[in-house]
């Protein structure tokens, strides 16, 4: 019957929801999930719930410092739950802040005609002082053989 009316004729459902009416008086709105509305007529906006974020305990500090001298750092991290939020924390702590030892300039070369060699020396300096260093890499004496 084309003249029949239903409760959906007055468009009671909001936000592009579906209306079904078993008779002229009753209707049911079916809300679209992607529209995020609810209620008898799909009029109430449903905000996404804010997730509860829980930070886990800090992991232990890294045992190795990133540098042996001139300042390195230890690292530790903690993650959050849920992990899908990618809300990790990172902390850094300085370590090995003492200056690195450095070599002095090479001395002038001393030549020996009897052995046909030249020798030069350098000193390992630690914080500007000689002989107190934990060590420089390499040799402190260099000998060059001039024999052909």
Taking the C-alpha atoms of residue 74 and residue 109, their distance in angstroms, rounded to an integer, is: 43
Residues 6+ apart with CB under 8 A from 20: 8, 27, 28, 30
Taking the C-alpha atoms of residue 130 and residue 85, their distance in angstroms, rounded to an integer, is: 54
Does 56 score more than 50 pLDDT? yes
Domains of the chain are: 7-45 (2.10.25.10), 54-95 (no CATH), 102-145 (no CATH)
Average pLDDT over residues 1-27: 75
pLDDT digits (tens, 9 = 90+) for 70-125: 899 999 999 888 777 777 889 999 999 988 888 889 999 888 888 888 999 998 88
CA distances in angstroms from 7 to 13, 20, 41, 64, 110, listed in the order given? 10, 8, 12, 74, 111
Higher pLDDT, 4 or 78: 78
- The most confident of 11-20, 22-31, 105-114, by mean pLDDT: 105-114
Does 148 score more than 70 pLDDT? no
Higher pLDDT, 18 or 148: 18
Mean pLDDT of the chain: 82
CB atoms within 10 A of CB 77: 12
- The most confident of 25-29, 52-56, 68-72, by mean pLDDT: 68-72
Stated pTM of the model: 0.46
Residue-level pLDDT at 4: 52
Does 59 score more than 90 pLDDT? yes
Contact 11, 30 (CB under 8 A): no
Residue-level pLDDT at 105: 92
Average pLDDT over residues 2-29: 77
Q: List the end-to-end C-alpha distance of the chain, in Å, as a whole number.
A: 119
Taking the C-alpha atoms of residue 125 and residue 129, their distance in angstroms, rounded to an integer, is: 5
Residue-level pLDDT at 28: 84
């Amino acid at each position: 019957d084309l003249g029949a009316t239903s409760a959906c004729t007055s468009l009671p459902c909001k936000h592009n929801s579906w209306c079904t009416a078993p008779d002229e008086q009753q209707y049911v709105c079916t809300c679209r999930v992607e529209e995020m509305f609810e209620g008898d007529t799909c009029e109430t906006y449903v905000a996404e719930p804010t997730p509860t974020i829980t930070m886990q305990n800090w992991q232990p500090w890294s045992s190795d410092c990133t540098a042996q001298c001139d300042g390195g750092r230890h690292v530790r991290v903690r993650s959050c739950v849920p992990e899908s939020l990618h809300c990790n924390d990172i902390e850094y702590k300085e370590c090995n802040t003492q200056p690195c030892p450095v070599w002095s300039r090479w001395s002038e070369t001393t030549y020996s005609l009897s052995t046909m060699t030249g020798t030069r020396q350098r000193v390992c300096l630690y914080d500007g002082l000689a002989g107190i260093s934990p060590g420089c890499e390499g040799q402190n004496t260099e000998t060059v053989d001039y024999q052909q």
